[in-house]
Amino acid sequence: MTFDPKQLNGIALAYLGDAVYEVYIREHLLKRGLVRPAALQRAAKDFVSAKAQAALIAGMQTADLLSAEETEVFKHGRNAKSYTHAKHTDVVTYRISTGFEALFGYLHLEGRDDRVAELAAWCIQYVEEGKTGHGKTAASTK
């Protein structure tokens, strides 16, 4: 039996992608010297909240960073029927962030962890530069 990530629904891809992306963010924050749980949680929000992820995918699109295939995966995740939503954001933002996470899950399942690392590094830099409306959090919440 062959496993094809393209056959998974967007919610399943996002389920994995959330965890894949979060590992990069947690590692980044620890390397920045954050160790207190409350500070880690506050700083992580600037990278992993639905609003941050929606801003990140918009930045990727503006920078023409995604391939046609990656854009399709994002749209697949964004358009997936979800019966839940985030407590602190609107439905549209939540769906966009689901597409963001689906992209990371898909790339990981495809064995393209080099691309995952590349996109995660881009996201970290984008947030640190304050382009999502946040930034420099890791440095300022030690």
Q: Would you name the residues annotated as active-site residues?
A: 18
Instruction: Give the separation between CA 89 and CA 79, rounded to whole angstroms.
Output: 17
Q: What is the residue-wise DSSP string for 32-56?
A: TT--SHHHHHHHHHHHHSHHHHHHH
Residue 49 vs residues 5, 6, 64, 111, 114: alpha-carbon distances, Å: 25, 25, 22, 25, 23
Q: What token pair was written down for 1?
A: 């039996």
